[in-house]
Every structure is written in C-alpha cells, then in structure tokens.
C-alpha cells in the first residue's frame, strides 16, 4: 500500500466520533506549523523526497502525505497521490492565491488568518480573493415574476391567469 492508501486508512480507522475528533485535534496543529514555516520562507517551490520533507517539517511521512493531499489543489501542477512512496521525489509548486482561496473554501480560518500571509499577499489581494470566494457561496435570486406581471410565455395574459396555474 502506498502512502496515500496509508493516509486514507489512518483517517478512516477513526470510526467513532471521539476517535475522529481526537485524530484531527492532533493533526491540525501539525498542519498549521507546516503552513507557518512554508509561508514564512516565502518560497512557493518545495522539493525533495516525501521522507525528507516529512523530516524537515517534523511529522511522520504518512501525516505529510495528508498535508500534500490537502495542498494538492493549490499547486500549479498537482501531485499523483496514488503513486507516492517514502522515496518519491515531489515538487510542490504552490500557487499562494489559489491556496488562500482554498483555505476559505475549506473554512480553515486558523490557516487563512495566519500572520505570515501579510508578507505574501497584500491586504487588497486577500480582500479580492475573499470577495471572489464569497461570490461562489452567496445565493442571488433572479427577478421573481409577480402574479400580476405579464406572463413570460408571451401570451399577453397576466401570469396568474396563464402559466402560474399550469
């Protein structure tokens, strides 16, 4: 089984709500530390073997695989997760704007509120990305046809006397 299989098995092995919650309580602070280091270094390309990168960020290789899985959609070129082994060379070419957007989408407030973002994306850039994200989640109602409005079918009748009753 590859690293990604081990990662998914690890996540799925937490069958009770309490186990599941405990797992994420342990994992998320480790993930945050990795992001803090990456954002502080202001380098969008991280390269090495999975084992070396896991050691660099002081996590188990399987947990680093989970990190890469979460980061994958924010990369300029996604990693083939199923092929990952400890000795696999990976190049994580991070698109920081996409990452910031994806953190909003994941509702990861503890990550998109990190102070390290200040040196990477200006306040205006972050505000614009947030605005783009908000557009995807805000429901905009189309103009509603009133009962006494002309029917949109073109019959000339009022909507209530025509298509409203069909």
Predicted confidence (pLDDT) per residue in 108-120, tens digit: 999 999 999 999 9
The answer on pLDDT for 127 being more than 70 is yes
Entry pTM: 0.81
The answer on pLDDT for 40 being more than 90 is yes
The answer on pLDDT for 141 being more than 80 is no
- Residue the block writes with tokens 């209530």: 160
Predicted confidence (pLDDT) per residue in 42-80, tens digit: 888 999 999 999 999 999 999 999 999 999 999 999 999
166: pLDDT confidence band, cut at 50, 70 and 90? low
């Amino acid at each position: 089984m590859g690293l990604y299989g081990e990662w998914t098995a690890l996540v799925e092995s937490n069958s009770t709500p309490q186990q599941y919650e405990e797992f994420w309580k342990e994992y998320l602070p480790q993930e945050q530390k990795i992001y803090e280091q990456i954002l502080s270094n202001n380098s969008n390309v991280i390269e090495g073997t999975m084992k070396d990168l896991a050691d660099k960020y002081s996590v188990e290789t399987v947990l680093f695989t989970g990190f890469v899985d979460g980061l994958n959609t924010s990369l300029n070129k996604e990693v083939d997760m199923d092929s990952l082994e400890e000795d696999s060379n990976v190049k994580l070419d991070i698109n920081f704007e996409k990452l910031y957007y994806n953190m909003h989408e994941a509702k990861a407030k503890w990550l998109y509120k990190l102070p390290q973002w200040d040196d990477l994306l200006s306040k205006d850039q972050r505000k614009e990305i947030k605005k783009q994200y908000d557009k995807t989640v805000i429901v905009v109602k189309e103009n509603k046809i009133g009962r006494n409005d002309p029917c949109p079918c073109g019959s000339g009748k009022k909507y209530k006397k025509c298509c409203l009753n069909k």
